[in-house]
Structure 1
Amino acid sequence: MKVKVISRSANDYIRETNHDIHKVNRNYDPSLHPFALNREYKRALNSVKLDRIFAKPFIGSLDGHSDSVQKLTKHPKKVGVLFSAACNGEIKLWNLTNHHCMRTIKAHNGIVRNVCIPNHGNYCFSVDDNQNIKQWDLSFLNDNIMEMDSDLQLSLQCTEEVPINTIVAKNPIYYMDNNRHKPMFLTCGQGVDLWEENRTQPLRSWEWGNDTVNHIRFNPIEQDLAVAASNDRSIILYDIRKPQPARKVVLAMRSNAICWNPMEAFVFTVANEDYNLHTFDIRKFGFPLQVHKDHISAVISLDYSPTGKEFVSAGYDKTIRFFTTLGRRSHEIYHTKRMQRLTDIVWSYDNRYVISSSDEMDIRIWKANASEKLGFKAPRETNNFRYQDKLKDKFAYHPEVRRIAKHRHVPKHIFSGQKELQTIKESQDRKEANRQAHKKPDAKSKNYNFEVKKQIVREEK
């Protein structure tokens, strides 16, 4: 005869110590919890509302420049070190932990276009409009300068700097970028030149057309590839192993900045004068994968997050916007009353902060996640945040949750500009629809993607 008995293990309901949490056994059978979905929806709604309440992204500013900040550069080895280059020729090294300037270098007599740091971080290169490329020693950063007292940091800041090496180019240089894996760098101006760090003459030069090249970036993964933006509205793909540029595509308007996706070797995004950002895949170079909208003025700069899932852009409309890699619209916008036209923006290597520079000589530090809690978080608190994130993803497309998550208060000039651009777009769509409707039946295009295809004027090889 079988006898049914209740069997329990003491490990299922007894705490190991008095500091542990009481264990609660739950039966997850859906029939026993008819209101579970309603409870989760309410929690997701409350989480979205709390995100809007605690959305305070601005952390602080770095004051000290006496002229407009032109360029920001991250140190490849030290997350807490930032380089800023100004229009008066100064380069400042910042300690992001305490917002102090560690050193000021009077590097050039003109505008500093860029600062490049190799992966080892022992020295850096700077370039200006006067055809000068200078190499600066950074060995003092290896002496744990971030742990020194303020008096010693001040004494280091006041020391005179002499460049290790100076290279004078034949033509003005508007931008430069260094290779992540080789001791080489590229400069652009009247053409594109490939340099080796210990030589005073370029190894190779390229030209395609007669216009100026204003921006160039090495691929961080495929070390022999680079992409440049020219003033004739073209995007040019280079392979440093070949004597001629590889491919060229001409956009409707000029591009101001380029950034490669750090996790996908073939994907890069360009910031354009047509108020949009265009993401390309070099394997299908003839048209962009996505056109990212929401800025109401020219996009000046952009930078990808270390995860490659998002990027941040800085516009001439005094706003900072966050996009997903293939997202058409921005999901976050930062702005302040005092912030003027933005000049550059970078995403920190720890994926937590965004640093921007603007015309009013200020550098601002923002949280990458506007409502994220900084500082120590207990394990239970961390688990609760993760649970809330999962709930927000689960109910992201419910009308009320989506409305609260997307709503942003924007300045009046942004609101008016968006309405004006919406009116222009509706007029263009109406005109294109009429054009397609009144064509001959055999001339009507099928699967017509007007929004993407109209960005490309032509492709050259």
Structure 2
Amino acid sequence: MISRSLDDHMPSSSTAPHPLQRNLAPHLHPFQKPREYTRAMTAVKMDRMFAKPFVDALGGHQDGVYCLGKDPRRVAVVAGGGGDGEVIVHSLALRRPLLKIPNAHKGMVGGICWTSESQDGKRGMVTCGKLDGTVKIWRSEAFAPGLRDKEVFTGSEFASGSGSASTEVLDTAGAIGEGGFEFDEEEGGGLSLDSSKRDALGSKLEPTMTYTSKNGFNSIDHHRTESVFATASNTVQVWDENRSAPLSTLAFGSSMETVAAVRFNQSETSVLASVGNDRTMCLYDVRTGKAERRIVMQFKSNALSWCPTLPTVMLLASEDHNLYTFDIRNLNSPNQIYKGHVGGVMGCDWSPTGEEFVSGSYDRTIRLWNRETGKSRDVYHTKRMQRVFDVTYTPTADFVLSASDDGNVRIWKSNASKKLGPVSTKERQAMEHRQKLIERYSTEKGVRSVKERRHVPQSIHNATKLKREMIESRKVKDDRRRSHTRAGREKPKAERKKTVIVEQK
């Protein structure tokens, strides 16, 4: 018996599209692959045509910007530390400074991080100085624009309607519009656009807590949940916010090396890692107050970052132009080597997804990488951007921030061709379809060549060419040495095995 339902052939509503019947039998579509390949080529060309990664440059610094401190709980707030001791808290959404602290430190700012309070209005900024040997905690209403006492908004759309103590703070950043209310609590507070009031507020602001040391601090990192932070100088010191003296001093044996950077593990928060000027990377356990293991590498590492989704994976930015990922359970050799820069890598940071990371180099470029592949998927540069000293992802992974010594904090899209602003459902579906086509045919020669093609400055191109020639000549020399000397009896050493000289326990 043959039956047919009109529901299968009529639109479900007056606004729904008319259903299309498709026969998916492969013999009825003999040219499907050639058609899809043509569409994939069109899609990848469109992807490159609309690739405009640069969003904006946040100025205001009188000297170069050498460190960044993002607020891990807010997307639109980042602080930049200058070479003249000035700290500026930027709003990425408003693209203007929220607060300028002109003389936060004497000399260069070594590092910036944020305290661990869950409420935006109560969270403070922690800065350290490379020359003056001080750590300071700053707290101001200007750090959280739009956050005000609930009592002010009793019965309004910004509050629950019940009167509450004036010490409570709204926990939603930017709840009030930019043309919001004027408050007399302090000049320049809130979302006021009066730059003179804002500058006056920053110049009058005093730190709520100051910690001093005989040595300057090169780096600082705060514990994820507790009121504890770690600093890097000639040793690694762990501090409590409520005590003026360090809780513990961590060092490997009698080593007196200068520690360049220190980071808490985001999952196993009692694990601490540091890199030093003696080409070392060291692991510490805060609970025991001891250094657990240390490796000595061929070159010095400038920065490190823990993977947010894989607690045992660590990323090192090295002076030999490469980046390395290590699994701390096996430190004999790196998991992967990432090559592409032609200058020392000064900063690195993982994406919140843990699948990608970004690096900034002395060669004036920023590169984005996939964790599984050793070649960068994209490279960003501008004519005016100078040497990049720090990079970071925003907490939503949509944007990348870079700090360079030309005095600017730059905002980049993590996906160069991604459209900013609202996208209709139909447009989003078309973009997803094009992306799937590119992924499906990414191994084809034509699609791959268009997808991976990048234009770089002439200086980078020449340096890459020279570096390639040097590596090739070194390989030829090693081959000849193995052919004509006793070194030929030994097996050639893999590239990953050459990275680590010794592991010390």
TM over 0.5: yes
* Alignment partner, residue 274 of structure 1: 320
* Residue pair 1:312, 1:323 contacting (<8 A) in 2 also: yes
Pick aligned residue for 2:498 from 419, 432, 454:
454
* Alignment partner, residue 123 of structure 1: 124
* Residue pair 2:368, 2:377 contacting (<8 A) in 1 also: yes
1:245 match: secondary structure? strand
Cα offset for 1:98? 2.2
* Residue pair 1:177, 1:185 contacting (<8 A) in 2 also: yes
Aligned-partner Cα distance in 1 for 2:261–2:443? 39
Letter of the 1:131 counterpart: G
Equivalent runs, 1:388-399 vs 2, <5 Å? 388-399=434-445
Q: How big is each residue's C-alpha offset from its partner over 1:324-362, in whole Å with a ceiling of 9 and x where there is no partner?
A: 113111111111111111111111111111111111111
* Residue pair 2:100, 2:198 contacting (<8 A) in 1 also: no
* Residue pair 1:193, 1:205 contacting (<8 A) in 2 also: yes
2:245 match: secondary structure? coil
1:102 match: secondary structure? strand
The reply to whether residue 84 of structure 1 matches residue 80 of structure 2 is yes
Aligned-partner Cα distance in 2 for 1:135–1:143? 19
1:423 match: secondary structure? helix
* Alignment partner, residue 374 of structure 1: 420
* Alignment partner, residue 376 of structure 2: 330
Pick aligned residue for 1:186 from 230, 235, 241:
230
Deviates more, 1:267-276 or 1:28-37: 28-37
Aligned-partner Cα distance in 1 for 2:84–2:200? 18
Pick aligned residue for 1:111 from 99, 105, 108:
108
* Alignment partner, residue 49 of structure 1: 45
Q: How big is each residue's C-alpha offset from its partner over 1:406-447, in whole Å with a ceiling of 9 and x where there is no partner?
A: 1111111111111111111112222333344456699433xx
Question: CA, structure 1 residues 344+442, in 2 after alignment: closer, same or farther (shift >3 Å)?
Answer: closer
1:46 match: secondary structure? helix
* Alignment partner, residue 203 of structure 1: 247
Count of matched residue positions in the alignment of Structure 1 and Structure 2: 455
Cα offset for 1:157? 4.6
Question: CA, structure 1 residues 96+249, in 2 after alignment: closer, same or farther (shift >3 Å)?
Answer: same
* Alignment partner, residue 411 of structure 2: 365
Equivalent runs, 1:308-319 vs 2, <5 Å? 308-319=354-365
Aligned-partner Cα distance in 1 for 2:8–2:476? 67
1:167 match: secondary structure? strand
Question: CA, structure 1 residues 210+143, in 2 after alignment: closer, same or farther (shift >3 Å)?
Answer: closer
The reply to whether residue 137 of structure 1 matches residue 139 of structure 2 is yes
Question: CA, structure 1 residues 156+412, in 2 after alignment: closer, same or farther (shift >3 Å)?
Answer: closer
Cα offset for 1:266? 0.5
Cα offset for 1:310? 0.6
2:291 match: secondary structure? coil
Aligned-partner Cα distance in 2 for 1:142–1:413? 42
Deviates more, 1:402-411 or 1:150-159: 150-159
Letter of the 1:112 counterpart: V
- Percent identity between the aligned chains? 35
Equivalent runs, 1:197-276 vs 2, <5 Å? 197-208=241-252, 209-276=255-322
Aligned-partner Cα distance in 2 for 1:101–1:141? 10
Aligned-partner Cα distance in 2 for 1:410–1:171? 41
* Residue pair 2:98, 2:142 contacting (<8 A) in 1 also: no
* Residue pair 1:82, 1:95 contacting (<8 A) in 2 also: yes
Aligned-partner Cα distance in 2 for 1:297–1:127? 27
Q: How big is each residue's C-alpha offset from its partner over 1:127-172, in whole Å with a ceiling of 9 and x where there is no partner?
A: 1021111111144444516434364664345312011111112322
Unpaired segments ≥5 residues, structure 1: none
* Alignment partner, residue 160 of structure 2: none
Aligned-partner Cα distance in 2 for 1:441–1:340? 44
Aligned-partner Cα distance in 1 for 2:404–2:381? 12
Deviates more, 1:155-164 or 1:335-344: 155-164
* Residue pair 1:322, 1:333 contacting (<8 A) in 2 also: yes
2:390 match: secondary structure? strand
* Alignment partner, residue 62 of structure 1: 58
1:199 match: secondary structure? coil
Aligned-partner Cα distance in 2 for 1:100–1:321? 26
Question: CA, structure 1 residues 233+296, in 2 after alignment: closer, same or farther (shift >3 Å)?
Answer: same
Aligned-partner Cα distance in 2 for 1:138–1:13? 63
Aligned-partner Cα distance in 1 for 2:200–2:314? 40
Unpaired segments ≥5 residues, structure 2: 148-173, 180-190
Equivalent runs, 1:169-180 vs 2, <5 Å? 169-180=213-224
Aligned-residue CA RMSD in angstroms?
1.8
